[in-house]
Amino acid sequence: MASNKTILMLPGDGIGPEACNQVRRIIDWMAKRRSVSFDVKEGLVGGACYDVHKEAVTDETMADAMSADAVLFGAVGGPQYDNVERHARPEAGLLRLRKDMDLFANLRPAVTFDALLDASTLKPEVISGLDIMIVRELTSGVYFGEPRGMQTYEGVERCVDTQAYTRAEIERVTAVAFDLARKRGKKVHSSEKSNVMETGLFWKNIVTEMHQSGDYDDIELHHILADNCAMQLVKNPKQFDVIVTDNLFGDLLSDAAAMATGSLGMLPSASLGGIDENGNRKALYEPVHGSAPDIAGKDLANPSATMLSFAMLLRYSFDLQEDANMIEQAIQNAMTSGKRTGDIMADGCEQVGCSGFGDAVLAELDKLAA
Ligand code: NAD
């Protein structure tokens, strides 16, 4: 047996548990066919936790998250929690995990699957073979800067948000981007608005300094203004490998890039924290989509985004590149074989449910492992 790393699984609400069940099946398959086993612990988060404990995540679950080697998160939320007090709302569970684990680097890949080229609004030749990684700073910037809020002075109402970054915050997220690029296409675009924002110029100067330090000579660095980056993502996305950017621009650019791939049901993400004294990095992996209450419990969800998040977990937390590749390939093969969930259904394909797509992925994994 290669490992007894610990995974904390937090399925949450809505389609979260259905999608996480399909990952459970892959984990069982890996133990049997790949001799790779994990200690998987499960916990409550979001509305599922509120129903039992009247809070969105408990201290016990937080302790489990802090000690796990990686966390796999499903989704949280649902209309039945709309009137719950803000601090106990389902989203508060995810926000606490991100904050307490200090998950400062959000990784959002935009990868196209050949079987889904027609699902994007962009031309197939523009997106075929696309493989971008957007690294968004997640714990600082204008979403957190102080002062913020209403200020009334001499009868004039005014509202303020503050964009602020420290050198350390920029350096740590840039280091993640350079390190990732080293394992990929060795190219980083750093995106800001250094032409009009002081923080943008600060960001650009620090990224340049880091690149010139000699530690990243093998990485090609480009600076690109965020507005131009948005335009280039739609015009010629394949010019990018890794894009590193701040919280606000990352929010926008990652959604724009995601549209190249067609469906919300296909988008994974990872959020990484710092490296501790034992050399381990805190990390949480989750699909980009929410709890999809409209289809929850009906076996209609596409589990791909959660499965792909698990593949990222294997790749970035456990360095199991081959296993991660196999899962991604099996999802691609299942779609190519014509099995599709409703969200990515196309003419000539067979519509299957969440568990049916799980069956198809396991069958493809069997073929790949044969
Ligand atoms: P959503 O992502 O849940 O759903 C948007 C649409 O996409 C829905 O029609 C849904 O059926 C569809 N969809 C999403 N994922 C799918 C999948 N895997 N397979 C097939 N179809 C899929 O967004 P929403 O409807 O705006 O939000 C619903 C709830 O989820 C809200 O309570 C919201 O706060 C919460 N939410 C949670 C997260 C999270 O847990 N990280 C993220 C976004 C929204």
Per-residue pLDDT in tens (0 to 9) along the chain, 370 residues: 445 899 999 999 999 999 999 999 999 999 999 999 999 999 999 999 999 999 999 999 999 999 999 999 999 999 999 999 989 999 999 999 999 999 999 999 999 998 899 888 899 999 999 999 999 999 999 999 999 999 999 999 999 999 999 999 999 999 999 999 999 999 999 999 999 999 999 999 999 999 999 999 999 999 999 999 999 999 999 999 999 999 999 999 998 998 887 788 999 999 999 888 888 899 999 999 999 999 999 999 999 999 999 999 999 999 999 999 999 999 999 999 999 999 999 899 999 999 999 999 999 999 999 9
Residue 95 sits in the same domain as residue 36: yes
Instruction: Return the ligand 1 atom nearest residue 302 CA.
Output: 19
HSE on the CB side for 123, CA within 13 Å?
Answer: 5
Residue 153 sits in the same domain as residue 231: yes
Domain membership flag for residue 228: yes
Q: How far apart are CA 273 and CA 282, in angstroms?
A: 5
What contacts 24+ positions apart, CB below 8 Å, involve 201-206?
Answer: 202/165, 202/167, 202/170, 203/165, 203/170, 203/246, 206/167, 206/170, 206/171, 206/174
Domain membership flag for residue 207: yes
Q: Which of 226, 260, 294 is the last residue of a domain?
A: 260
Ligand 1 lining (C-beta closer than 6 Å): 15, 75-78, 91, 94, 264-265, 286, 289-295, 301-302, 305, 343
Residue 248 sits in the same domain as residue 137: yes
Residue 37 sits in the same domain as residue 144: no
Which residue is closest in CA terms to ligand 1's atom 11?
292
Residue 169 sits in the same domain as residue 194: yes
Amino acid at the residue 13: D
Whichever domain contains 317, its CATH number is 3.40.718.10
Residue 281 sits in the same domain as residue 292: yes
Residue 178 sits in the same domain as residue 284: no
Q: Which residues contact 73 (CB under 8 A, 6 or more apart)?
A: 10, 12, 16, 45, 94, 97, 284, 285, 286, 309
SS3 (DSSP) at 221: strand
DSSP state for residue 278 in the 8-state scheme: T
Instruction: Return the ligand 1 atom nearest residue 295 CA.
Output: 11
Six-digit token pair at 195? 């032409």
Domain membership flag for residue 118: no
Ligand 1 centroid to 265 CA: how many Å?
A: 9
Residue 276 sits in the same domain as residue 354: yes
Domain membership flag for residue 7: yes
Residue 145 sits in the same domain as residue 35: no
Q: Which of 260, 295, 316 is the last residue of a domain?
A: 260
Domain membership flag for residue 290: yes
Amino acid at the residue 220: E
Ligand 1 centroid to 126 CA: how many Å?
A: 27
Residue 135 sits in the same domain as residue 256: yes
Q: Which of 260, 289, 318 is the last residue of a domain?
A: 260
The answer to whether the CB of 330 falls within 8 A of the CB of 23 is: no
Domain membership flag for residue 116: no
Six-digit token pair at 8? 């904390």
Residue 276 sits in the same domain as residue 255: no
The count of structural domains within the chain is 2
Residue span of the structural domain in which 269 resides: 1-111+263-370
Locate all alpha helices (DSSP H) within the chain, ordered by sequence: 16-33, 47-53, 59-67, 90-100, 124-127, 167-182, 198-212, 226-235, 247-258, 304-316, 321-336, 354-369
How far does Cα 111 stand from its chain's mean position? 12
Beta bridge partners of 12: 75
Please give the model's pTM, rounded to 2 decimal places. Answer: 0.94
